Amino acid sequence: MANGNKSAIAKRLDGVSESATLKLNALVQAMRARGEDVINLTAGEPDFAPPEAAKAAIRKALDENRNKYTPVGGLPELRERVAKKTNAQQPEVVSRFGEWKGSDVVVSNGGKQAIYNVMMSLLNPGDEVIIPAPYWLSYPEMVKLAEGVPVFIQSREDRKFKIGVDELRAAVTPKTKILILNSPSNPTGSTYTKGEFEAIGAYLVKEAPHVWVISDEIYDRILFQDGKFHSFLDAAPELRNRAVTVNGLSKSAAMTGWRIGWTVAPPELTSAILTLQGQSTSGINSLAQYAGVAALDLPEDSFTEMVSAFKRRRRIALEILAKAAKLKVFPPEGAFYVFLGIEAFLKEGEDAMQLSETLIREAKVAVVPGGPFGAPLWVRMSIAMDDETLKKGCERLVSFFTR
Ligand code: PLP
pLDDT in tens, 100-147: 999 999 999 999 999 999 999 999 999 999 999 999 999 999 999 999
Local confidence band at 151 (pLDDT 50, 70, 90 cut-offs): very high
Q: Give the three-class secondary structure for 29.
A: helix
Cα dihedral 291/67/81/60 (nearest 10): -40
The rounded Å distance from CA 41 to ligand 1 centre is: 17
The rounded Å distance from CA 293 to ligand 1 centre is: 19
Residue to substitute in 106, 250, 263 for testing ligand 1 pocket (most ligand atoms within 8 angstroms of CB): 250
Amino acid at 127: D
- Residues 134, 186: Cα–Cα separation, whole Å: 8
- Residues 387, 241: Cα–Cα separation, whole Å: 44
Q: Give the three-class secondary structure for 58.
A: helix
- Is residue 261 within 6 Å of ligand 1 at its C-beta? yes
Of the chain, the end-to-end C-alpha distance in Å amounts to 38
Among 5-9, 168-172, 236-240, 267-271, whose mean pLDDT is lowest? 5-9
Helices (H), 225-285: 232-235, 267-279
The rounded Å distance from CA 139 to ligand 1 centre is: 10
Tell which residue, 342, 402, 141, 138, has the closest CA to residue 246: 138
- Kindly give the number of the ligand 1 atom that is closest to the alpha carbon of 185: 3
Residues 370-386 have a mean pLDDT of 96
Portion of the chain with pLDDT greater than 70, in percent: 98
Contact, 253 vs 247, CB < 8 A? no
Predicted TM-score (pTM) of this structure:
0.96
The DSSP call for residue 363 is I
pLDDT value for 268: 98
Local confidence band at 18 (pLDDT 50, 70, 90 cut-offs): confident
Higher pLDDT, 198 or 225: 198
Q: Which domains does the chain have, with CATH numbers?
A: 6-49+303-402 (3.90.1150.10), 65-299 (3.40.640.10)
Local confidence band at 308 (pLDDT 50, 70, 90 cut-offs): very high
